[in-house]
């Protein structure tokens, strides 16, 4: 972890990550996003977990922590379909813990053959980000507007890239040449 967005997200992670890692149904916990990238600041803590069987129950994360869970039985198909969060996690994620080599197996299978993110998913995320920005502007939450504007810009870039791929007919070319550093 390079930086914590806030002390609330740090304290939450310190309480919840050991609980998630000890849960027999949780096969992996992975960090991604600005908190682990070499950037000047981090707006939120992004993480995902892979589970088998029932989803874990854990303390609600603070507003600046985004936690996504995926059933291990669906992960390969979601990656093949271009699920952008999983693609970025395979490419740039940092492993917190794993059980039964679940994340290691996914990396071995996908790290050199990742598809492009789905154009439909990019469009949907961009539209959702723009709607949320409008709502935040309407209520006058300036701090949230600034944060959401970053998301809108990122979503718009992904949408433009997806549009270019649709126009050019490129669908399944691998966007990254190497898997990068996978150390935890």
Domain boundaries, the chain: 7-110, 119-168
Closest listed residue to residue 69, CA positions, set 58, 119, 121, 151: 58
Decide yes or no: CATH 3.30.300.160 for domain 7-110.
Answer: no
What's the predicted TM-score (pTM) here? 0.68
Q: How far is CA 12 from the centre of its chain?
A: 18
Residue 163 confidence (pLDDT): 56
Contact between 76 and 83 under an 8 Å Cβ cutoff? The reply is no
Spell out the per-residue pLDDT of the chain, length 184, in tens: 678 889 999 999 999 999 999 999 999 999 998 888 877 777 889 999 999 999 999 999 999 999 999 999 999 999 998 888 898 899 999 999 999 999 999 999 998 888 766 677 777 777 888 888 888 889 887 877 777 777 777 666 666 655 554 444 444 433 433 344 333 3
Closest listed residue to residue 49, CA positions, set 102, 111, 118: 102
Residue 159 confidence (pLDDT): 61
Residue 176 confidence (pLDDT): 39
Residue 65 confidence (pLDDT): 92
Burial of 90 (0-12, 13-18, 19+ CB in 10 A): buried
d(CA 110, CA 102): 13
Beta-strand pair 45-51/94-98: unpaired
Residue 169 confidence (pLDDT): 46
């Amino acid at each position: 972890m390079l930086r914590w967005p806030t002390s609330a997200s740090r304290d939450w992670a310190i309480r919840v990550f050991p609980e998630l890692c000890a849960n027999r149904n949780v096969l992996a916990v992975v960090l991604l996003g600005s908190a682990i990238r070499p950037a000047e600041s981090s707006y939120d803590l992004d993480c995902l977990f892979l589970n088998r069987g029932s989803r874990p129950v854990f303390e609600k994360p603070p507003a600046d922590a985004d936690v996504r869970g995926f059933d291990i039985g669906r992960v390969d198909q979601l990656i093949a379909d271009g699920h952008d969060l999983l693609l970025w996690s395979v490419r740039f994620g940092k492993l917190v813990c794993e059980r039964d080599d679940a994340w290691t197996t996914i990396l071995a299978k996908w790290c050199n053959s990742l598809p492009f993110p789905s154009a439909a998913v990019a469009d949907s995320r961009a539209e959702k980000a723009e709607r949320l920005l409008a709502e935040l502007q309407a209520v006058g939450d300036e701090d949230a507007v600034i944060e959401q504007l970053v998301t809108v810009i990122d979503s718009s870039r992904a949408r433009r890239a997806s549009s270019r791929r649709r126009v050019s007919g490129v669908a399944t070319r691998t966007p990254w040449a190497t898997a990068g550093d996978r150390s935890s």
